[in-house]
Amino acid sequence: MGQKLPINEVLKTICPNVYFNPPEGLKLVYPCIVYNLDNIEPFRADGRIYVKHRKYTVTIIDRNPLSQLPDMLLELPYCNHDRTFVNDNLVHFVFTLYSSNDGWLWSPFDFRYGYTTF
């Protein structure tokens, strides 16, 4: 198995312009990937949290409606396409991506069915 990378580094292998929660008014360079933390789901045992799984919303913004970036992102494990829309002549491809508390990619299904990938 290859070395696992934090989400930001993984996304930069797809597109060099990656922004986590960019501030209002920041001029983005297109194509780009914008992502933010959507939810943290804790799993508990013996009254303690022993793992936290994070759900991220990842948006690819590109001028090209036939961009290959969404296909590249979908190659990641535990990534799902949610929707696509156009705003200001820019195509937004929106995805959900899951990771564990250490930043590595994971599946919400792995844990619920009694096995994990990490």
Q: What is the DSSP letter of 28?
A: P
pLDDT at residue 108, as a whole number: 46
Assess if residue 44 is contained within a domain: yes
Collapsed DSSP state (helix, strand, coil) of residue 73? helix
Select the more confidently predicted residue: 51 or 106.
51
Assess if residue 59 is contained within a domain: no
Dihedral of the CA atoms 81, 85, 90, 91 (nearest 10)?
A: 30
Assess if residue 61 is contained within a domain: no
What confidence tier does 16 reach under pLDDT thresholds 50, 70, 90?
very high
Task: Determine the structural domain holding residue 16 and report its residue range.
Answer: 7-50+70-94+101-110
Assess if residue 19 is contained within a domain: yes
pLDDT at residue 101, as a whole number: 60
Assess if residue 115 is contained within a domain: no
Assess if residue 31 is contained within a domain: yes
Assess if residue 13 is contained within a domain: yes
Domain count, the chain: 1
